[in-house]
Structure 1
Amino acid sequence: MSAKIRKIVVQIDETLQEMGRPVSPSTRRAVAMAVIENPYAGQYSENLDELIAIGEELGALLGEKAVKALGIEPGQAQSYGKAAIVGESGELEHAAAILHPKLGAPLRTAVEKGAALVPSAKKRGSLGTAIDVPLGHKDAAFVRSHFDAVEARVSDAPRKGEILVAVAVTDSGRPLPRIGGLQASEIVGVDGLR
C-alpha cells in the first residue's frame, strides 16, 4: 500500500429508538476512517497521481472495514458515502484527488454493486475537526429514505500534513422514514437514479 497510514478508526452508530418509538430492526451506520500522510503537503503540484492511487487503495480498505463492522454480507449494504478533511498544509484539491477519480470503484466492490454516485464532502481542518459524510442509497439516488449523513471525527487528526479519509456504509435508511418517494423495494438499479 502506498498510503502512509498513521491511524484507522472504525465506529458504528446504531439507532434503537426515535421519538420514543422503537426502531426495529435498528438502523446502523458504520464509518471507517484512515488518517494518512499527505505527500503533497506544503507544496503545489500539477500532478496528484499519488493521491489518486491512495484513494483507490482506501476505497477498498475502508469499504471492507465498514461492511465488516456492520457484520453483513456486501450485498446487504444499502447506503454509502465518502469524505475527507485536509490538514492546513494541504489543499481541497488533495481531498478531491483521493475521493473522486478512483475511490468509488473499489468501494462499489466492497458493497456489491453500487450503481449510484457516491455522495461526498471535503473540507480543510485541524485536530478534531468533524465532517458530515453524506449518505445515499448505493443503487438508486432517488430513494429518499436513505438521504442522510453521519459524522466522522478523529480527536487527533488531521495534523498539518495529514488527510483524514472517511467511508460510510449503512445496512438501512433513516429511522422511521415516511416522506414518500421511491421505495428501496422498487429499485431497478440500472441508471443509478431509480
Structure 2
Amino acid sequence: MSLKIRKTAVWVEETHLEMGREISPPTRKAVAVAVIENPFAGSYAEDLTPLMDMGAELGGLLGERCVQALGITPEQAESYGKSAMVGENGELEHAAAILHPKLGAPLRKAVEKGAALVPSSKKMGGPGQDLDVPLGHKDAAYVRSHFDGVEVRMSDAPRANEILVAVAVTDSGRPLPRVGGLTHEEAEGKDGLR
C-alpha cells in the first residue's frame, strides 16, 4: 500500500512577548501535518506494517518541512514531538503504527541526532478537533525548559477514513523558563536523558 496524502500544512508559532517581557530572540515552534488515507479504516487487520512504513515516510517529510519552515539547519533544532488523530472508521492502534516503530529514525535524521525519545500522543477524533503535539528536548529528556506542547487543528480533517499526522520541531525552549534542571547548553545527548 502506498502513502496517499490528501493535504499538508505547516505553521510557525513565534512568541515575542510573555508577561510583559520581550522574548529575544523569539521562541519558535513549527508544526507540519499530513492528512492521509487510512488503508485499514472500517476493518480489522492483524498486520499493520503498511502503516508503519507510511510513518517512516512521514517522519522524514514532516521533520524536514519543520526545519525548513524555521529556516534553521538540522543541528539547530532543539526539541521535537509527534502526534496522530485517527478518524472514526479507524482505531487507536492505527495511530500507534504510524508513530512508533519507524517514524522516529527519519525525524531524528531531519533534526540531526535526536538521542531522546520523541514525545508522542494519539487520539480518535474528527474534522476540526484539536490535536496536541507534546514537545521534549531532542537529545536530553531531563531538559525541563523544553517540556512543552503545541496545538494544531484542521477544519476538514481527519475525515472518517483518514489519519491526521503531525510533527513539531522547535529552535528553543519555552519563553522565560525558570523551573531549574539541566539546561540546553549543559545537555550532552549521550544517553537520551542528560
Give the TM-score normalised by the residue count of structure 2. 0.99
Q: Deviations over 1:44-83 (max 9, x none)?
A: 0000011000000000000000000000000000000000
Q: Deviations over 1:97-125 (max 9, x none)?
A: 00000000000000000000000000000
Counterpart CA distance in 1 for 2:42 and 2:6 is 19
Counterpart CA distance in 1 for 2:4 and 2:180 is 44
**Paired amino acid for 2:33:** M
Q: Which runs of 5+ in 1 are unaligned?
A: none
Partner of 2:80: 80
- Tell me by how many angstroms 1:2 deviates: 2.2
Counterpart CA distance in 2 for 1:55 and 1:2 is 11
Partner of 2:67: 67
Partner of 1:97: 97
Q: Deviations over 1:107-158 (max 9, x none)?
A: 0000000000000000000101111100000000000000000001111000
Counterpart CA distance in 2 for 1:70 and 1:105 is 20
Partner of 2:112: 112
Aligned length: 194
Partner of 2:36: 36
Residue correspondence of structure 1 range 1-194 to structure 2 within 5 A? 2-194=2-194
1:160 is paired with a residue whose SS is coil
Give the TM-score normalised by the residue count of structure 1. 0.99
Q: Which runs of 5+ in 2 are unaligned?
A: none
1:53 is paired with a residue whose SS is helix
Counterpart CA distance in 2 for 1:167 and 1:137 is 14
2:185 is paired with a residue whose SS is helix
